[in-house]
Structure 1
């Protein structure tokens, strides 16, 4: 049964000059992986993700070499504060000025800042204060970039291809993570942190011509309502009100929040502690993460090829429950090969539930509100969930990994059970291809 609860915007967003280009009509039903417009977006997104991976590796290396471990940790955490505080505002900007414009400005700022830092490091050793300043700028830019990049897919592909676009985005993200670390390590080995920062800046710059070459699908324009639009704070309140009243998206935000709260801690802090207590070592962490990446990548490939999952709401809920059980099982697996197999199942199940969450957001949200809705989901994923890291570490120190992983499993499973208990979300469907 197809959900018909998609609401129209009270004040549809106007198409700005920066985002008003011709709408591709021919071949609208062409699979996303054969659409040159989507592939340009994918290339830009992958280049930006690669740049992120190389940048963070270079930042961590330079911070460790330039100060104590505590100082390095402080530098690495500086960006989290503005990212959490400004994320909702970033969604407002994406909806007011158009997501492409915000993404282009974000990547341009990152390219200039990182290339400038590389130039300084080639001739001097400025100290940790400059690294912290760059990290602070990155936190602000991330708060703008993440909601905007989430609001861009409906502008570049027809609605029936948005699930495939979500799959392609997952593949691009995985490629950035897998290739970024060795690329950054090679750059550091050849030319130190300066070379790695330079490579990251060039990758950010590479995304710009691809983004500028996109043909965007403009939103419905209503000049009368556009003149009556509230200010930025009013836009934010309007977006939150829209989200609260939406029968699918409102409950979906609760599901995303619970799944992130249960998932992020164990797979970041908990995994390192588990590998240490089991004697798997650093290479063991790498193998487990590789297993997770293989599973998540397979899920992204499945969505890219199929383009649609029947009964998406119910499948999302059940895979979240089963993925939660796999997270809990990871703490009780004594041998590394079995842990890798469990990690593959986590990647498959959690990857599918996460991708379906993203696809449901993309297809059920009025595009005029998509930046603000994406900012809310990103706020939980990247603003609130990382705050559980110290709590997870302290809890494992008190009670060991088993009870903590089990509690995380329960939180994730609660998200899936909640989704099953909301009829509109449980029955939510994705558009046919």
Structure 2
């Protein structure tokens, strides 16, 4: 019987810290959204936009900073800033309540720090884990992220009910304190130092990620699939699922069950890959996963009843999990050391841009034609993207580049 090698202890320690931070963040996002909803839907959307816009505008610059000065120093700085910011938010909420300007300002700080933190954090598995264990490491991180999403809203509701926005901000500050201590403890054995070479301007370095995407066939295909998954899969259960439920007379509980079923499917695949490892050809796994999720989306659009719709949501989750657990290692494992954080920033940029564009378009199409039409459009778009990228990713393997 073949023994599956264990993941390195520094990575597991770092991951435990990351998951603690994600759970605190999910609770705070719920608290901010809940407080903003008291001012109406437009205000709630404004707070979400305040998070998304700076994250999208600055993420490539944040990746360039992490590649220039090192991922670990950027993580330490970001965690320290968020620790201070959440403590200030708690004090302000006690003294001022929850004025809309405070919620918007908090969202803008979160988005700006995320723009630097996400690319640096996304590059850490490559810095802490050998190439052959990278698929398992990223799958374990994906599974932990899903658990944080599932538990974050209930935890946020409990914290808001007991301590309001101030109490939730204090809890998030405590989580950032834990993360800060973990990052201080963990030191990458290799690849954690700034890239050597002639210095260039940070804006020029950020643009280097775009030039890399234009000339690297594998990265171009990965970005195509990432954009298709973000714009064609993420809105299906969160936006179109509830609209389908309303038009077909299903309950709110059924609409919520669709989201839970998708998360369960993703967890199942991520857990399996974290335990046993991924396919030897991750490009095939990524395209197959997007195709499976596309089939689930089409089934959801045509589902005659709630039971079929729930099964379709599970299928979407299984495909999404297969996609994410194979595309991530392929991109991160093949990226050059000098561009690790910028490549992660580029992926984040594509995801954010696709969501910003897709959500209003799909919502307007649902208003005009009913939710079944945009759901089928999502299925067609993701299946077309899988077919288009299959040739570029066929036979791809995870290979460390120096």
What is the TM-score when the length of structure 2 is the normalising length? Answer: 0.93
How many angstroms apart in 1 are the aligned matches of 2:104 and 2:256?
A: 28
How many angstroms apart in 2 are the aligned matches of 1:145 and 1:359?
A: 19
How many angstroms apart in 2 are the aligned matches of 1:383 and 1:323?
A: 21
Match of 2:236 in 1: 266
1:196 is aligned to 2:168: yes
Match of 2:329 in 1: 359
Match of 2:58 in 1: 86
How many angstroms apart in 2 are the aligned matches of 1:126 and 1:246?
A: 47
- CA contact 2:71–2:193 (8 Å) conserved in 1: no
How many Å apart are 1:327 and its aligned residue? 0.9
How many angstroms apart in 2 are the aligned matches of 1:409 and 1:274?
A: 15
Structure 2 runs not aligned, ≥5 long: none
1:369–1:401 Cα change, 3 Å: same
Match of 2:6 in 1: 31
How many Å apart are 1:72 and its aligned residue? 2.6
How many angstroms apart in 2 are the aligned matches of 1:121 and 1:391?
A: 36
How many angstroms apart in 1 are the aligned matches of 2:360 and 2:213?
A: 30
Match of 1:19 in 2: none
Match of 2:110 in 1: 138
Aligned residue runs from structure 1 range 15-414, under 5 A: 30-32=5-7, 35-65=8-38, 67-125=39-97, 127-219=99-191, 226=197, 228-414=198-384
How many Å apart are 1:275 and its aligned residue? 1.8
Match of 1:23 in 2: none
What is the TM-score when the length of structure 1 is the normalising length? Answer: 0.87
How many angstroms apart in 2 are the aligned matches of 1:363 and 1:88?
A: 19
- CA contact 1:48–1:107 (8 Å) conserved in 2: no
How many angstroms apart in 1 are the aligned matches of 2:246 and 2:176?
A: 36
- CA contact 2:63–2:119 (8 Å) conserved in 1: yes
Q: Bigger relative contact order, structure 1 or 2, given CA contacts below 8 A and separation 6+? A: 1
- CA contact 1:151–1:367 (8 Å) conserved in 2: no
CA deviation digits over 1:253-284, x for unaligned, max 9?
A: 12212222211232322122112212223222
CA deviation digits over 1:153-206, x for unaligned, max 9?
A: 111111111111111111110121122111111111112222122212211221
1:296–1:334 Cα change, 3 Å: same
1:306–1:89 Cα change, 3 Å: same
Aligned residues: 397
More helix per residue: 1 or 2?
A: 2
1:426 is aligned to 2:398: no
1:337–1:387 Cα change, 3 Å: same
How many angstroms apart in 2 are the aligned matches of 1:146 and 1:205?
A: 18
